[in-house]
Structure 1
Amino acid sequence: MPIHNEDEQLTQQAFAFITHESNSRVLYGVLKRLNVRPGDPNFDDAVSEGRLIYVAVFKDYVNAFGEQDADALRRYAYQRLYWRLLDWLRASTRRLSHQSELSDTVVNQLQNTEATAIDMETHDFINRLIATCTPTEKKLLSLLLDEEMTISRAAKSLHVSRPTLYKHRERLAAKLQTHFPEFF
């Protein structure tokens, strides 16, 4: 029974220690380093979890070193809090990623048949365009449209010069005007 009282007393000392202004700064410093700000939706949960971790770290420190050097304890606690809160944030992010709901934007897009029809037209248009392209032009289109690369980056990726890609781009523009005059 005395062990239980000693543990309770150590827990009370830990809470008294972490709620002191100079010691609570450690927790808020860790939260700042982790980019958890007061406006974030999980800020309050992170503070609560951080306090519980801070108490456990305090108890571990006192049990391991048997002394309460406040400066040494704050340095020790900072790194422990950082790693444990980082693990907690990762776990909560993993949990939340499996529970995401459809946003209003997604629902509106699904209900908007006109937008869906336009997307289908665009997809059909691109497929018809690709059918008229050479393999190099297909690669260029893929890099420019899918990968959103600049001409310079596409040239490096394809191991050709920029002027060569400019010529391919001009040929693509000519094909567009020839095969798809309705778009011009």
Structure 2
Amino acid sequence: MSKTIIGLCTFLLFAVSAFGQTPPASSEIVAEANHLISRVVHQTSDQFVCEVIPSDNNRDVFEIDTCGGKIVLRGNNGVSLASAFNWYLKYYALCDYSQCGSRLKLPFKLPLPTRKIRTNATVPYRYMYNYCTYGYTMPWWNWEQWEKEIDWMAMNGINLPFIVVGQEAVWVNTFIQLRIYGKRDQGMVG
């Protein structure tokens, strides 16, 4: 019983400490947003400028504007910048970036926004997937598939993908401690 309590306390300590981590620097956020844009629109990515702005009353926010003939995307974090980019693609460039195939017929010179757009997130956490989604085909994905999925999630405002990883190891350790797991049970878990 005491091992269980110690294990639970250790887990909670690590879980709480994860929330206190220092956020990435603005330059890192901008660099990652620029990489995402380059992966999606390739040759026209130099027409975008990304900037980090403060959150709006602790809510995620993005802006789309124009300056000096460039499309300016602003957001308080990487997901907000990616969401601004997706909003631009949908409503200005009239394109679609999807998980199952994309329609990205972009002109060489992208259309500039006609007015400044500012959008706030209505909820702090936007999640996707369910308890078993990860177990269907995702374990066999390569990095290219994961990168596209992560880009799509960020572009659609997802900041909390629900993927349960490592639960089988916890089950096995628990069963071993309870002495109800042996060689014959190895095919049951994992």
Higher relative contact order, chain-length normalized (CA < 8 Å, sep 6+)? 2
Both structures adopt the same fold (TM-score exceeding 0.5)? no
Structure with more of its chain in helix, by fraction: 1
Normalising by structure 1, we get a TM-score of: 0.27
Question: Over alpha carbons, which structure has the higher Rg?
Answer: 1
User: Higher strand proportion, which one?
Assistant: 2
